[in-house]
Homo-oligomer: A and B are copies of this chain.
């Protein structure tokens, strides 16, 4: 009997923008948090919701924790494949997010991002978000 890793439930391709590199000629570490966010937001859209819609309903998903490992660098001209799967742990939504160099398949970044939901400013159980994500859970 073996454990198998659940498959990704969403992936998207993002191209490095030249201004995202720093004086070391590689993408600056902070930009990967942008890439991870873009991926989560596009996933939300595919799931049929969006941050604008959620905010209009009084729901504010906020990032509580990020653990990110930088494995290989991206440079100007590179594209990445950004993959995501997630699980619910009580009030928290935990996203496993992996970024690969689109050309070489090389792993670039491995991250775990924990999101909680504020509803009208207070921590909620996140049922509204769970509902949006229902078919993926």
A residues with CB within 8 A of B? 17-19, 21-26, 28-31, 33-34, 37-38, 41, 50-52, 55, 60, 62-70, 73, 75-77
- For A75, the chain B residues whose CB sits under 8 A away are 52
A73 — which chain B residues lie within 8 A by C-beta? 62
- Copies per assembly: 4
Known: A25-B23, A29-B37, A30-B31. A65 touches B76 (CB 8 A): no
* Alpha-carbon gap, A41 to B68, bound state (A): 20
Contacts of A28 in B (CB 8 A): 19, 37
Q: Which residue in B23, B69, B77 is a CB contact (below 8 Å) of A18?
A: B23
- Chain B residues near A33: list those with CB within 8 A: 29-30, 33
Report 17 cross-chain contacts, Cβ distance below 8 Å, ordered by A residue: A18-B23, A18-B51, A19-B22, A19-B28, A23-B25, A23-B51, A24-B55, A26-B62, A29-B63, A30-B30, A30-B31, A50-B76, A50-B77, A52-B75, A64-B69, A64-B70, A67-B68
